[in-house]
A and B are shown apart, each in its own frame.
Chain A
Amino acid sequence: MNALVEVKDLSVDFSTRNGVVHAVRDVSFSLMKGQTLGIVGESGSGKSVTSYTLMRILDQAGYISGGSVSFGGMDIGNASEKNMVLLRGREISMVFQNPRSALNPIRKVGQQIEDVLCQHLQATRHDAKQKAIDVLRQVRINNPGERYHAYPFELSGGMCQRIVIALALACRPQLMIADEPTTGLDVTTQKAVMDLMAELTRERNMATILITHDLGLAAAYCDHLIVMKDGEVVEAADAKSLFQNPQHPYTKKLIRATPRSSGTIRELLPEDTKVPALAVSTPNAGKSEAILTVENLVKEYPLKSTSSTKHPKAEARPVFRAVDDISFIVGRGECVGLVGESGCGKSTTSSMIMRLLNPTSGSLIFDGSEIANMPAKTFAKSPLRTKLQMVFQDPTDSLNPRFTASRSIADPLMRMGQLKSRRQMRDRVQELAELVGFPAHLLDRFPHQLSGGQKARVGIARAISVNPELLVLDEPTAALDVSVQAVVLNLLVDLKARLGMSYLFVSHDLSVVRLLCDRVIVMRGGKIVEQGECDQVLENPADPYTRELLNAIPHPAFD
């Protein structure tokens, strides 16, 4: 049988301000019909560039500098633009990472599918609507006739990704390229979308290329895997043997760094890393004293009032309860995980605890003081402010692009620290940089000159600069590569033991929470559905929702 896609010694270069960048070097692979190939790698490994080359949608600065790409016997590298237009969407199609930005926000989703069908002459004006509805039905959208008229903003993220898949599959292509199709989706939605893609691939005997940074996901859904690093393929094998018997050290490192259902946090790091033994955690310390007590916390947002729902009295107005009467305790020296999917209210909860947001009602007792009713301005000046700090989700967004790393770290010190002289300040910043493993010679750099892991370290250094007692970590590793995540998680564990802090770790990822936390709280729809000791909740979940979350974590079938 002939391969549908044949890539031989492909090299792609980009010409940039700092000279030529070799984004992809000597990559070769082939793909048969009905097969699923996974391209796995961390950011900057060239996996997306490889797939863009297949469709020839590289940036203007990028060009094929060697090797060949053929699709069904056709030479893609030398094909005319006219032929490529015919090919794209009809023979090869693509599912993009962010479904919301891939859809036109002001056009009905049904019409967007019609556009693709009509463009490739797969439908006429008369039957386009019917065909579009058929396609929607194939991607398991309920009430496709009604959803045809929906705009992207009216649909959930998972639903939008189904529409994007419907767009990709409308013309029955032979090859589908999915570029991180489920990054940014919840685990349960991820499972639904991936299952759907696998099923459609099988049904239509298509070839699929899945590009992902998640080895677990790739191993669960792909036949073959290639692992890329710095533009080169470091290992290629079938999924099972790659996972069970990795050859290349980089593959081994990646597999180790992927959080699994067993193992300790130290096992995420490469084998030869020298780290101090884990400090023995003292779970009893948590029970003795609570640093934070949350009682009956509620946050309500007024719903947009329509003419029929407008009420003269304020209390009669319809409200949306983002956080619905939750109570929990964080003990001193304890690490508590707050887990849930997007929209469950976990970020609202952490913002209220940080007093960035005013609670509607309820009480927050931090270090013996009631802080829920304290106005934000008073709290900012109170000495308690230094004891309660936060590490933000997106390291890029949370650093001022015009501040150097040292200025960012020094900011809380300048406002709240007792240090007066410049010299003391500089010493403290250097000490903090050393503490979080941030290279001192990079302190004068701006955020855009730092890598994701380095930015995360700056964010952590800033948060711990004023010696907080409770650190709220809002998905601190969600935007990081797995190997960087492994290092950052270990850093957090060490810092906690060294500085005696307590953590409230907000995350959607149960397997990460398991590694770091003593106790876990599972939230859904603003309510706490389950809380308890981490091991117990994850081994024997009492609530069906917790069970669903656990099941949705992608596991390779052979693991």
Chain B
Amino acid sequence: MNKPSQTTDMIKPVSGEDGISLADLNAAVTRQSGAAAPTRANMLRHLAYILKSNPMTLIAFILFALMLVAALLGPLITPYDPLKSSVADALQAPSLAHWFGTDDLGRDVFSRVLMATRLDLAIAFSAVAISFVFGSIIGSLSGYYGGWLDKVTGRIIDTIMAFPLFVLAMGIVAALGNSVENIVYATAIVNLPFYARMARAEVNVRRDAGFVQAARLSGNGDIRILATQIFPNALPPMMVQISLNLGWAILNAAGLSFIGLGVSPPTPEWGIMVAEGARYIVSGEWWLALFPGAVLMLAVFTFNMLGDGLRDLVDPRQRS
């Protein structure tokens, strides 16, 4: 009986911290004297303003913080060992001892869902990071230089987008081999065109802006202009894309696992758990599929909501 209360205690300080810490940190930073303090305090005040002005963003940030905690602490906070089976406890309905019930091997579903956060977030973050970096580089270069580079990369990207993306990802994983890394690469490749196109458009409209010409007159080379002057201005819309893409990437990874590609049992992963649980829905053990599915949905929802907040955060024009 003491297990659940322990978990509640674990969750409470987290959400409480997120609410209070901003003001505290703000005050703490302001108290520090020094050159860097005012800007950092401004940043935090700005974050506080964004969270206050948009309650959806606040909810998204709280959920995101919870997910990060689950991913980072992982095995430290799971009430049971997510891999330990115990046939005596098999297929128990949700109860105070087992919040999300147990599966056919008697493993605690809550612990498994919690544990899966680390893997799913890791896949999503690394896939998005790869597609963001390479997509931005390709898109920025073709948007800035134009010409044949733009034409060639543009057509390659069109070709990638011509495939149904999930089928393409399936094909890539099937061809490269069934492993977590390959899920990451496949997800990165299908997401890359979005970044490349967006970076191209954002860079292209600023190529001849006054401040870019001024930078040229200041003796900046092309690559420096691209990296320090133009690209940072393309960041705000890219942040929205990153956040949306994190949601897609999680769905994509879970989808691949669901059909048996990539992550293999008994590793806890939301997609596999839904796939395994699906078999038991007909016989009435609904909790096996419902909870991992619900958490998956919540994660995607969080990332979709996070986008606007992130954009406002990286755009200095939103600061006053």
By a beta-carbon cutoff of 8 Å, the part of chain A in contact with chain B is 17-18, 354, 356, 376-377, 380-381, 385-386, 389-390, 392-394, 397-403, 408, 411-412, 415-416, 444, 446, 448-449, 459, 462-463
Question: What residues on B are CB-neighbors of A385 within 8 Å?
Answer: 217, 219
Interface status of B266 (Cβ within 8 A of chain A): no
Known: A401-B317, A412-B219. A462 touches B214 (CB 8 A): yes
User: How long is the Cα–Cα vector from A415 to B39 in the complex, in angstroms?
Assistant: 25
Report how many residues on chain B are interfacial, defined by Cβ distance under 8 Å. 22
Known: A402-B316, A446-B319. A462 touches B209 (CB 8 A): no
Distance (whole angstroms) from the CB of A47 to the closest CB of chain B:
24
Question: What residues on A are CB-neighbors of B317 within 8 Å?
Answer: 401, 446, 448
Known: A380-B216, A385-B217. A18 touches B229 (CB 8 A): no
Distance (whole angstroms) from the CB of A446 to the closest CB of chain B:
5
User: How long is the Cα–Cα vector from A378 to B39 in the complex, in angstroms?
Assistant: 39
Assess the B218–A416 pair: CB atoms within 8 A: yes
By a beta-carbon cutoff of 8 Å, the part of chain B in contact with chain A is 39, 49, 53, 209-211, 213-221, 229, 232-233, 316-317, 319-320
Question: What residues on A are CB-neighbors of B53 within 8 Å?
Answer: 17
User: How long is the Cα–Cα vector from A463 to B53 in the complex, in angstroms?
Assistant: 40
User: How long is the Cα–Cα vector from A408 to B220 in the complex, in angstroms?
Assistant: 13
Assess the B217–A400 pair: CB atoms within 8 A: no
Q: 13 extra interchain contacts, Cβ-Cβ under 8 A, other than A401-B316, A412-B218?
A: A356-B213, A356-B216, A389-B217, A398-B213, A398-B214, A399-B210, A399-B214, A400-B229, A411-B218, A412-B219, A415-B218, A444-B39, A463-B217
Question: What residues on B are CB-neighbors of A392 within 8 Å?
Answer: 210, 213-214
Assess the B316–A390 pair: CB atoms within 8 A: no
Some 11 contacts from A to B, beta carbons below 8 A apart, are: A17-B53, A356-B213, A385-B219, A390-B213, A394-B210, A397-B211, A401-B233, A412-B218, A449-B320, A462-B214, A463-B217
Nearest chain B residue, comparing its CB with the CB of A354 = B217
Interface of B is mostly: helix
Nearest chain A residue, comparing its CB with the CB of B216 = A356
Task: Output the residue of B216, B219, B232, B319 with the most chain A CB within 10 A.
Answer: B219
Question: What residues on B are CB-neighbors of A377 within 8 Å?
Answer: 221
Known: A17-B320, A402-B232. A412 touches B211 (CB 8 A): no
User: How long is the Cα–Cα vector from A415 to B316 in the complex, in angstroms?
Assistant: 24
Question: What residues on B are CB-neighbors of A408 within 8 Å?
Answer: 211
Assess the B211–A400 pair: CB atoms within 8 A: yes
**A-B complex: 7 closest residue pairs judged by Cβ atoms:** A398-B210, A412-B218, A415-B219, A397-B210, A400-B211, A416-B219, A392-B210
Assess the B219–A381 pair: CB atoms within 8 A: yes
Assess the A400–B215 pair: CB atoms within 8 A: yes
Question: What residues on A are CB-neighbors of B229 within 8 Å?
Answer: 400, 403
Task: Output the residue of A386, A403, A463 with the most chain B CB within 10 A.
Answer: A403
Assess the B218–A397 pair: CB atoms within 8 A: no
| Cross-chain pair count, CB within 8 angstroms | 75
Assess the B210–A393 pair: CB atoms within 8 A: yes
Known: A398-B214, A446-B319. A415 touches B220 (CB 8 A): yes
Question: What residues on A are CB-neighbors of B316 within 8 Å?
Answer: 401-402, 446, 448
User: How long is the Cα–Cα vector from A386 to B219 in the complex, in angstroms?
Assistant: 8
Assess the B214–A380 pair: CB atoms within 8 A: no
Distance (whole angstroms) from the CB of A423 to the closest CB of chain B:
13
Question: What residues on B are CB-neighbors of A400 within 8 Å?
Answer: 211, 215, 229, 233
User: How long is the Cα–Cα vector from A415 to B225 in the complex, in angstroms?
Assistant: 11
User: How long is the Cα–Cα vector from A411 to B229 in the complex, in angstroms?
Assistant: 11
Distance (whole angstroms) from the CB of B233 to the closest CB of chain A:
6
User: How long is the Cα–Cα vector from A376 to B213 in the complex, in angstroms?
Assistant: 12
Question: What residues on B are CB-neighbors of A459 within 8 Å?
Answer: 214
Known: A399-B211, A446-B319, A448-B317. A390 touches B217 (CB 8 A): yes
Assess the B220–A397 pair: CB atoms within 8 A: no
Distance (whole angstroms) from the CB of B180 to the closest CB of chain A:
37
Assess the B320–A18 pair: CB atoms within 8 A: yes
User: How long is the Cα–Cα vector from A18 to B49 in the complex, in angstroms?
Assistant: 11
Distance (whole angstroms) from the CB of A313 to the closest CB of chain B:
23
Distance (whole angstroms) from the CB of B161 to the closest CB of chain A:
26
Distance (whole angstroms) from the CB of B212 to the closest CB of chain A:
8
Question: What residues on A are CB-neighbors of B39 within 8 Å?
Answer: 444
Known: A18-B320, A394-B210, A446-B316. A411 touches B215 (CB 8 A): yes
Question: What residues on A are CB-neighbors of B214 within 8 Å?
Answer: 390, 392, 398-399, 411, 459, 462
Distance (whole angstroms) from the CB of B34 to the closest CB of chain A:
14
Question: What residues on A are CB-neighbors of B215 within 8 Å?
Answer: 400, 411
Question: What residues on B are CB-neighbors of A412 within 8 Å?
Answer: 217-219
Nearest chain A residue, comparing its CB with the CB of B222 = A377
Known: A392-B214, A402-B233, A446-B319. A397 touches B219 (CB 8 A): no
Question: What residues on A are CB-neighbors of B319 within 8 Å?
Answer: 446
User: How long is the Cα–Cα vector from A268 to B317 in the complex, in angstroms?
Assistant: 34
Distance (whole angstroms) from the CB of B226 to the closest CB of chain A:
13
Question: What residues on A are CB-neighbors of B210 within 8 Å?
Answer: 392-394, 397-399
Known: A399-B211, A400-B233. A462 touches B218 (CB 8 A): yes
Distance (whole angstroms) from the CB of A444 to the closest CB of chain B:
8
Distance (whole angstroms) from the CB of B173 to the closest CB of chain A:
39
Question: What residues on B are CB-neighbors of A398 within 8 Å?
Answer: 209-211, 213-214
Nearest chain B residue, comparing its CB with the CB of A392 = B210
Distance (whole angstroms) from the CB of A392 to the closest CB of chain B:
5
User: How long is the Cα–Cα vector from A448 to B39 in the complex, in angstroms?
Assistant: 17
Question: What residues on A are CB-neighbors of B218 within 8 Å?
Answer: 411-412, 415-416, 462
Question: What residues on B are CB-neighbors of A354 within 8 Å?
Answer: 217
User: How long is the Cα–Cα vector from A232 to B317 in the complex, in angstroms?
Assistant: 29
User: How long is the Cα–Cα vector from A385 to B214 in the complex, in angstroms?
Assistant: 12
Distance (whole angstroms) from the CB of A464 to the closest CB of chain B:
12
User: How long is the Cα–Cα vector from A394 to B233 in the complex, in angstroms?
Assistant: 18
Nearest chain A residue, comparing its CB with the CB of B38 = A444
Distance (whole angstroms) from the CB of A159 to the closest CB of chain B:
26
Nearest chain B residue, comparing its CB with the CB of A380 = B219
User: How long is the Cα–Cα vector from A416 to B53 in the complex, in angstroms?
Assistant: 44
